[in-house]
Structure 1
C-alpha cells in the first residue's frame, strides 16, 4: 500500500531517535502525512492510510522500528 502513497514512505534512519524528533522529521520530509507516536502496549487498528505514519517507540521514547506509511 505504501507504494501507492505520495512522497517519502519510510524512514529507516530514524530508528533509535527520540520519538518527538522522528515525528517532526517525518512531517517535514512528507507534509502529506501525520506522524503519531505509538507507545508500547497501545492497541492499533489494522487499516492502512496514506496520510498516517505510526512511530513505534520503546519504553524510553526512542523509535524501535522503521516508521512507514500505514
Structure 2
C-alpha cells in the first residue's frame, strides 16, 4: 500500500539554519505537519507519519540534516 502525504515533504533549503526558524518555515510551507526540533543523538520514534518532521540540530541549534516527512 502506497502512502501519499499532502504538501511539501522535504526542506533542503533549511540546512544550516537555526532550528527554531527552520521549524517555523516548515510548518508555514506545509500546514499539515508539526516540525519538532531534536538535538543530534537523541532517540526518536522511527514510525513513518505524514504529520511529523524531525528537525535535527547540533549543540548550537543549527540544522544538520535535511528535514523530511516521516
TM-score (normalizing by structure 2): 0.92
TM-score (normalizing by structure 1): 0.92
Distance 1:49 1:15 in 2: 21
Structure 1 runs (4+) deviating above 3 angstroms are none
The aligned runs of 1:1-70 (5 Å cut-off) are 4-70=4-70
Unaligned runs of 5+ in 2: none
Tell me how many residue pairs correspond in the alignment. 68
Distance 1:21 1:46 in 2: 24
Aligned CA RMSD, in angstroms, stands at 1.0
Unaligned runs of 5+ in 1: none
Higher helix residue share: 1
